[in-house]
Structure 1
Amino acid sequence: MVDKVVSSISEALEGLEEGMSVAVGGFGTCGAPAALIEGIIEKGVGGLTAYSNNPGTELDQIALGLSRAVKAGLVKRFCGSFVGYAKSVERQYLAGEMEVELIPQGSLVERMRAGGAGIPAFWTPSGAGTPVSDGGMPMRYDGEGNVVLVSEPKETRTFMVDGKEELCVMEEAIVTDFSLVHAWKGDREGNLKFRYTAENFNPVVGMCGKVTVAEVEELVEVGELEPGEIQLQGIFVDRVVALKPEEGAGEGAGARRHPLTLGRRGPHRAAPGAGCRRGTRRVDACRHRSPRGAGAGRRFLCQPGHRTAHHDSRLPAQGP
């Protein structure tokens, strides 16, 4: 057995240097490796290229998740599918301090998975015939409103799909120097289990790093996780660090305590017929179930500082 457990966050991030690329798990604050992000800030390593679904969240001027590293000026380039709630990204992007590459969400996931599977590239219809394939999307400004860097065109090709021709664009795999993930449980060999909605980008992020570091809420011995429970195999994980209570252990789904947490325990499920409070705003849709094809029957988790898909007004409310 190879024991991959390290004793501290600083040891877990050993080797992370200026100008490296980092993939970060999580969706907003849900499942974000908050302790490892704090470790990057304390380490002061800058010039990073960050790959993540979105660069964290900022609410009432409080930065959460990856946006903490962005706000600290440590990210020179962000590559992801959504930037809407991170005001620091908007400010730095328009000021010419940061580059932004927008990637269709499904393509982002598959590019990460391909990186972990050793697939150099793949073809997809997503984004074909748009600026995603044709190029020209603004990636950097000069601070005066002038675009100084745009995306390059990508190779396209027509394939027969379901008996008809369809234009596809070639997307290259993502392989990063480091990958950072948050897991609910992990064993000493690096096998990981995620909790509820935190099983979003974490598995594919964990696959695409040359060095993958997992922060875990609960460290268990090898064999305690059933084979069917393991959602990211230890072969992809290089280091495991067990969180301490002050680092968010026991908070669930990767949310650390902050002024906007829901009650004392952070994320929670609403009792039948009850709503929940997000800050001072009441949300009554917490008993929505996911739509067909998105994990039927699984309930979405209400997260602090994160409006998950269960707030979609198209889904019918269940219960009073």
Structure 2
Amino acid sequence: MTRVPSGAAVEVTGLRKAFGDKVVLDGVDLEVASGTVFALLGPNGAGKTTAVRILSTLIRADGGQARVAGHDLVKEADEVRGAIGVTGQFSAVDDLLTGEENLVLMADLHHLGRAEGRRRTAELLDRFDLTDAARKVVSTYSGGMRRRLDLAMTLVGDPQVIFLDEPTTGLDPRSRRTMWETIRSLVASGVTIFLTTQYLDEADELADRIAVLDQGKVVAVGTAEELKRGLPGGHVRLRFADLTQVSAAAGLFQDATRDDDALTLEVPSDGGVRALRNLLDQLEREGIEVEDLSVHTPDLDDVFFALTGHPTAEKEAVR
């Protein structure tokens, strides 16, 4: 299969969607680089699932333009469908069929032919560690196995772009980690992942770039580190051998918070390399030795709360 050239796998400009009087997407602009993981975060009702449904051709936008895998979303909808895979919040597997039968059915729907369909099925069963359970009905599968099978079915068509809508909801920690490794391997093979998730640690762990959606608008875009450093509250914690050193350092940094009992000083900082280098250079010029140093920056939950007024991401009702 021919992959999308390096560049944007998804390009969205001015995307708009309303349901009655309720504006769900209000001029959304997004760009997702090929071969990366892009995470879309937002509180309940922010428009995440609506955006995924539009970009996967399930519903039409009211305005704006988008290209997915190099194809115009409206004018080349069939080409878009042929280049994407979609895994929703709930597994789309058939409980009455075996894992192997689910995959063979999907291969038939993709018109792969009997021999190629069998080959692809065996390959995906092996890739997702489902070979031993291949001939068991899916109703006997664990949650993690069902999600792996669901993703395997998405891959039957060898998609260039995969939309994953909360792929690890309800999974135990071990199954989540397995899914994360699967996502990483897909990206390493050149696949682009467009991810929505209610788990901020998941976005932090996987995403190359993150967009935060609130009330139908993109309120921030960047890497996890960029978003964290954009918030106040970050600091460098310095620990010294004695009070003399603490006092000397406190004289250099007037806005620092000192703790004489712990022999520490907290200096406001974004935690960036340049800021750390400047801080250490100042200490060295004054001959002040630091026993220990640690960097403390806001986490994604802090970012989410600051941008949306909500303490964490929540599930969006599916429209």
- Shorter-chain-normalised TM-score: which range? under 0.3
Instruction: Point out which structure has higher relative CO (alpha carbons under 8 A, 6+ apart).
Output: 2
Q: Could you say which structure has the larger radius of gyration?
A: 2
> Which protein has the bigger helix share?
2
TM-score w.r.t. the length of structure 2 is: 0.27
